[in-house]
Amino acid sequence: MIEIIQIPVLQDNYSYLLHNDKTGETAVVDPSEAPPILDMLNKKQWKLSHILSTHHHHDHVGGNIDIKQITGCKVVGLWKDSERIPGVDVTVKEDQEIVICGSKCKIIFIPGHTRGHIAYYFPSEHKVFCGDTLFSVGCGRLFEGTPEQMVESLAKLAKLPDNTEIYCGHEYTVSNCQFALTVEPGNKDLQARQAQAKQLRSKGQSTVPSTVAMEKATNPFLRIASPEIRKNLGMAQENEVDVFAKLRLMKDRF
């Protein structure tokens, strides 16, 4: 069983420490900056074995080099994006299985936000670390990829078991709910999610992780077949990629 510690970093990012008490192994996902990660490792007296990088953006890899130099850990990243991820030692590819903290981890290739984005999926733990591809009630901007790529990537994540916990890279749920309700105001699950998110944030608590089931019920980017969304966009008959592209453009301007 892997223990997860969520570490708020920078302005609204999350990094994650993964620890297996039986094996003593520890990994970190997307260390935006080194000090908070090193502080928690020291507090827990854990030795870091791996850094798991989902993509190359600085707010996800900014701590890689300092942490690697201090801990001697290995940095994991996608093989064809390794030149943009600082300190990569171990390259992985789509559908590859690796063992992290004593648990099997499957690499899911999910381009769109960047051309080399991956997720780390732990089937036995029912957890996926998906960086900036799928957010709670949202998805990442298309900085390098296409709408077609992002639709396909989101579909891969939506096919994971409903009880899979989604650990994303940012705390965006409240603002994402505000946008989602402009295109699907009649969604009762979404209304409840917004109320819950506001309550959690008012107490300084995180809205992450979400679950696959919750995202399929509330996330407009996973609900492009919704008659209400299509009606409000005036796109009742258009294909899913065009509907997604319109939604993403609206969210960019929201």
| Residues with a known catalytic role | 55, 57, 59-60, 113, 132, 170
Q: Residue 101 in contact with residue 25, Cβ under 8 Å?
A: yes
Among candidate residues 7, 218, 31, 4, the one with its CA nearest the CA of residue 122: 4
Task: Using CA atoms of 199, 203, 205, 209 in order, give the dihedral in degrees to the nearest 10.
Answer: -10
Other CB atoms within 10 A of residue 235 CB: 16
Alpha-helix runs per DSSP H in the chain: 34-44, 58-61, 64-71, 147-158, 173-183, 188-202, 212-218, 227-233, 240-253
Spatial CA neighbour of 51 closest among 71, 74, 21: 74
What are the structure tokens assigned to 175, written together? 């603002």
CB 187 within 8 A of CB 218: yes
Q: How many residues does the chain have?
A: 254
Q: Which of 117, 106, 192 has the alpha carbon at shortest distance from 154? A: 117
Q: How far apart are CA 115 and CA 97, in angstroms?
A: 21
Give the span between the Cα atoms of 26 and 151, in whole angstroms.
33
Show the tokens assigned to 252: 């960019």
- How far apart CA 11 and CA 251 sit, in angstroms, is 20
